Each structure stands twice: as C-alpha cells, then as structure tokens.
Amino acid sequence: PPHTPIRAAMNSIQQLRFDLNSAQDQPSDVLCGYFKNCTVDPSEEIAKRVDQLGQVFSCRFAQAVGQGCVGLGKQRFCLGVRLYYRVMEAMLKSEEKRLSDKNFSKLLNSSAFHTSLLACALEVIMATYVGSTFKNGDFGSSAFDGTSVETDLCFPWILDVFQLPAFDFYKVIESFIKAEPSLSRDMIKHLERCEHLIMEHLAWRGDSPMFELLQQSHEEGPVEQAEPPAT
Amino acid sequence: NQDYHFGLEDHEGISELFDCD
C-alpha cells in the first residue's frame, strides 16, 4: 500500500506500543537496585513525583483535547512512564560502566533530572501520536487544514505542563538518544529540532537558569585557557 | 542514531550534567 503520512504515523504508533509492551509501569529490579545503592534512597520521591506529574499531565491533556479524553491522556502518560524507567535504567548502566560506580545518589535525587527525563519520554510519545487520531476528522475541521489539536501538544508544550526550564530538558536529550536505540530516524530528527529551538530561543528567556550559571562561571573565572577563536 | 551529531565527550555523561543541582 502507498506510504501515506497517516500510514507512517500508524506504523510508528504500532512500533512504539510493541516496543513498550514488555516494559514495566514500575521500576525494574535492576533499577530498584540502583535506588537502594544510593546514600539517600530516592524510591519514594520518584514514585510520588510520577504520581503528581501524572495528574498534572492528564489534567492539561484533557483541557487541550477535551474532557472526554482524560483516559487517553492517562494512556499516553503510562506509555511515557514505561519509556522513562527503561531509559533511566539504560542510562545508569552506561554511567556505571563509564564511572565504575554504583552510587548515583546525587543524580537520582535530582528533581530536575527526573522531570526532564520523564518530559523527554513523554515528548517522544506525543510526537509519535501527531498525525494520527486527531487527523481523521473526529475533532473538528482543524483536522483537515494541518493544524491538528495534537500538534499543539508537541514541544514545547510539555515544558509548560511540568514548569520545566528548557535548559534542563536540553541536558537529557543526547543521553536519551544514546540510551534508547529503538528511536526512529524521524524521532531523532524531532529531538534535534527541540535541541535547536532551545539553543536558539528557549534557553535565552529571562527566567532561564542559564543566566545564573553564566554569572557563576564569570565570577569563578575561566577554569582553563580559552581556545583560539578559529577553533 | 547515526544521523545525530553527538556533542558530549567520552568523559561527560548525564551525572556531570546534573551535578550542579
């Protein structure tokens, strides 16, 4: 059959569901092992954060798409959580190998890290669904002019939902791509576009934490000699 | 992931990026 945009989107969704079918909604035993190895066990905080962000996400999803779609928002969030735990485990395995250390207490107790990682997982889910359900005309005429409701739920929508600085989201993108080999070429391109948007625009907003870091860096002075301008 | 331009050096990882929290 011809490879239409709708068919491509349906194939991506099918693949995503297949990939995450065997993944768990809860941290695996391996992940729990990493939590237990921490100086401060983050298990409880992680579970609480996932629960809170789930409520916020479902509420905002229903506001944007329609109150009848609360269940759909919960389904999307559930897929995002599966991906979040899976990528977290892969990242920690890779860090253990790189650093020869099993105690990631600082990282695993960072709220910015978890919120960014979950936001990135959800962005992958939401971007996969763009061009599917709501483009079939069920949700009004906008479906026919290319301005699907779901397009509005793509990046940077998730930053607003989680009140997450773009600068923090940026930090997880590269490690996320490295840790999740099943990402399609289109999805990697999408995440790259998110990176560019942050670099060129979102990270330079007045409330960005980047300015404070630049200030700190300026006060501490250069750590090493700057490279020549040509480089 | 071949098309993606990886910028992190080998000695950098997610731990270092969230170290300033």
SS3 content of chain A, % helix, strand, coil (to 5): 70, 0, 30
A5 vs A65: which has the higher pLDDT: A65
Residue A68, min C-alpha distance to chain B (Å): 37
Band (pLDDT 50/70/90 cuts) for residue A6 is confident
- pLDDT of A107: 96
Could you tell me the pLDDT band of residue A13, with boundaries at 50, 70 and 90? confident
Among chain B residues, the shortest Cα distance to A170 is held by B17
Is pLDDT of B7 > 80?
Answer: no
Q: Is pLDDT larger for residue A224 or for residue A72?
A: A72
pLDDT digits (tens, 9 = 90+) for A119-135: 999 999 999 887 554 44
Give me the sign of the Cα torsion angle A106, A46, A62, A15: positive
Interface residues of chain A, partner chain B, Cβ below 8 Å: 91, 94-95, 98-99, 104, 106-107, 110-113, 171-172, 174-175, 177-178, 181, 183, 185, 188-189, 192, 213
**Chain A residue closest to B15 (CA)?**
A107
Which tens digit of pLDDT belongs to each residue from A138-166? 433 344 444 556 668 889 999 999 999 99
Q: What is the pLDDT of residue A43?
A: 97
pLDDT for A35 equals: 97
In 3-state terms, what secondary structure has residue A213?
helix
Lowest mean pLDDT among A109-113, A118-122, A182-186, B1-5: B1-5
The CB density around residue A63, as the number of other CB atoms within 10 Å, is 12
Token pair for residue A162? Answer: 């989680």
Q: Do B1 and A177 touch (CB under 8 A)?
A: yes
B14 against A24, higher pLDDT: B14
Instruction: Report the pLDDT value the prediction gives residue A176, as an integer from 0 to 100.
Output: 96
pLDDT of the residue at A2: 62
Residue type, B16: E
- At A122 the pLDDT is 97
Measured between CA atoms, how close is A39 to chain B, in angstroms? 15
- Alpha carbons A181 and A118: distance in angstroms, whole number: 17
Q: How far is B9 from chain A (nearest CA, A)?
A: 11
State the pLDDT confidence band at A53, using cuts at 50, 70 and 90: very high
Contacts of B12 in chain A (CB under 8 A): none
What's the rounded mean pLDDT across residues A28-54? 97
pLDDT band at A229 (very low <50, low <70, confident <90, very high): low
Contact residues on chain B for A113, CB-CB shorter than 8 A? 14, 18, 21
Higher-confidence position of A144 and A212: A212
Chains A & B: contacts with CB separation below 8 Å: 53
Residue A199 structure tokens = 């670099």
Among chain B, residues having any CB pair with chain A shorter than 8 Å are 1, 3-8, 10, 13-15, 17-21
Average pLDDT over residues A175-188: 92
